[in-house]
Structure 1
């Protein structure tokens, strides 16, 4: 079935064609029709399978169809998401697919001034994409009313629970009409998520796209054994061997991100970092630079691993293995989006081997090992600009010490 065959607004069909959407992915094919019928949906699918469009397409049509009969100042659809970056991204998807319709979509999140957001809400919004913190702030201040919401969407629900948003999800129900459509989208499911989902949905259509391999089939992923202090040399080599490629590097902490950045700058490689200590405007700028390709190397913590859709990421590098095995899937899922091919490589030090074992247990299969002989390993270090500079300094120091020793001997003879 093609998108042109769906009973959706012609403007939406035209936009999908412009965006290169021809046939729906599995999750889209199974979700769009029941959502259009007004049914509750509980959907579980891998990252990178097109979950956002799976709900954006039918919701835009439903809101657009009843726009004339609805209150102008009423929010019709609420999308709850765990992070600011995801809120912005989903809003952009709604805006691109809904271009030419009369549907207005807006993202609401913390870390920025709330007054401009309040003014935007007062002008009238149809679809609100929000993080819990700022949303509840404006609800408590009386600037945001949710009593006309017809559709509630929870996206990346598993990550919301990881971040401790379960009470927020339960609390938001108090502000919504009892009669509503609820769509629950998650990359993984466990008993806690299942319990929460079934408390929110009513006779839901359950959709699960979960092949045996948790990593999408179009992503080649492997591991290479590298000592912790040598990782920077292998990242430098990777960048130099693929100068035109867009490379996303994941590290464990904010401090680590800045250290890796400094190591790259020492060898003349331009990069940027993305982590929780950066101001919102800086984070948006960094993501924008990486999206457009102005920045080819982005070093990030897991804040950007979940749900963020950055086009044409050629390589994902796990500079540090993630503490949580599930995050491995979300990290490598930043490449190979949709139908594109992707590549992911993990640097595993001796002390990280137990973490690798946990990841392999989660995947139910071993990660392919990229073999590296001792000569190639040594060559990677020897050809590093960082090593060359360090060696030069050492030689200069030795030369100075030698000259000093000669002077002392000369004085002694005299």
Structure 2
């Protein structure tokens, strides 16, 4: 609710509830903005953390490649995607909605690809996500809308076609792979590839 801009409405609701209520706030991350809201909304909050905050999963092997230009990044994906999909589902992140569609058009010359971003109709987003989750489509190109809040099983590879803006976004993206299966409680291993250009030298250290 905070992410979608409804923090003020949540505050109004909580202000109209009895003060001796019991409240639970569950979040995959706990950034400074959320910490401030927690102090505002809760009386004497108790924090319970599972795992280490701000660290990537040890079950995801990370690779960073510095390529000369955007054409080289596309060529890398076209060459490696057939191998990636033989292992499992592949999730490719782009910075913009237009970037998602442009890259998907390029990749469709190699294999079937679906897209996920905010400009798509909700029914189209739902259909794309269902096709990817069911394994009908093995490659999903998306903006950071797919970086959190989605439990997609058996994602083996994440590719940062466009690098993330910060460390937290990076953790969310690569955390789509190397997950514990809810079905068989089996820990899966994953891989993450971040594709950089010489112009990305000013990015925060990931």
Give the gaps of 5 or more residues in structure 1. 1-81, 83-159, 361-414
CA distance in 2, matches of 1:315, 1:353: 24
CA distance in 1, matches of 2:96, 2:105: 14
Q: Normalized against structure 2, the TM-score is what?
A: 0.87
The Cα offsets for residues 121-165 of structure 1, whole Å up to 9 and x where unpaired, read as xxxxxxxxxxxxxxxxxxxxxxxxxxxxxxxxxxxxxxx25x543
Aligned residue runs from structure 1 range 50-65, under 5 A: none
What displacement does 1:287 show? Answer: 0.5
CA distance in 2, matches of 1:298, 1:347: 17
Q: Is contact 1:274-1:304 (8 Å) kept?
A: yes
The Cα offsets for residues 43-71 of structure 1, whole Å up to 9 and x where unpaired, read as xxxxxxxxxxxxxxxxxxxxxxxxxxxxx
Aligned residue runs from structure 1 range 370-389, under 5 A: none
The Cα offsets for residues 222-277 of structure 1, whole Å up to 9 and x where unpaired, read as 21112222111111112122343210000000000010011012x23110100001
2:190 is matched with which residue? 342
Deviating beyond 3 angstroms after TM superposition, the runs of 4 or more aligned structure 1 residues are: 174-179, 187-192
What SS class does the counterpart of residue 295 from structure 1 fall into? coil
Aligned residue runs from structure 1 range 168-187, under 5 A: 168-187=9-28
2:36 is matched with which residue? 195
2:130 is matched with which residue? 288
What displacement does 1:190 show? Answer: 4.2
**Residue 94 (structure 2) pairs with residue 246 (structure 1):** no
1:154 is matched with which residue? none
Structure that is richer in helix per residue: 1
Tell me how many residue pairs correspond in the alignment. Answer: 198
2:72 is matched with which residue? 230
1:275 is matched with which residue? 117
CA distance in 2, matches of 1:190, 1:246: 29
Aligned residue runs from structure 1 range 17-28, under 5 A: none
What SS class does the counterpart of residue 205 from structure 1 fall into? coil
What SS class does the counterpart of residue 316 from structure 1 fall into? strand
Q: CA RMSD in A?
A: 2.0
CA distance in 1, matches of 2:116, 2:29: 25
Give the gaps of 5 or more residues in structure 2. 181-186
Q: Is contact 1:326-1:359 (8 Å) kept?
A: no
What SS class does the counterpart of residue 194 from structure 1 fall into? helix
What SS class does the counterpart of residue 239 from structure 1 fall into? helix
CA distance in 1, matches of 2:60, 2:46: 29
CA distance in 1, matches of 2:31, 2:125: 31
Structure 2 CA distance for partners of 1:251 and 1:230, relative to 1, 3 Å: same
**Residue 101 (structure 2) pairs with residue 258 (structure 1):** yes
Aligned residue runs from structure 1 range 25-104, under 5 A: 82=1
CA distance in 2, matches of 1:176, 1:340: 42
What SS class does the counterpart of residue 47 from structure 2 fall into? strand
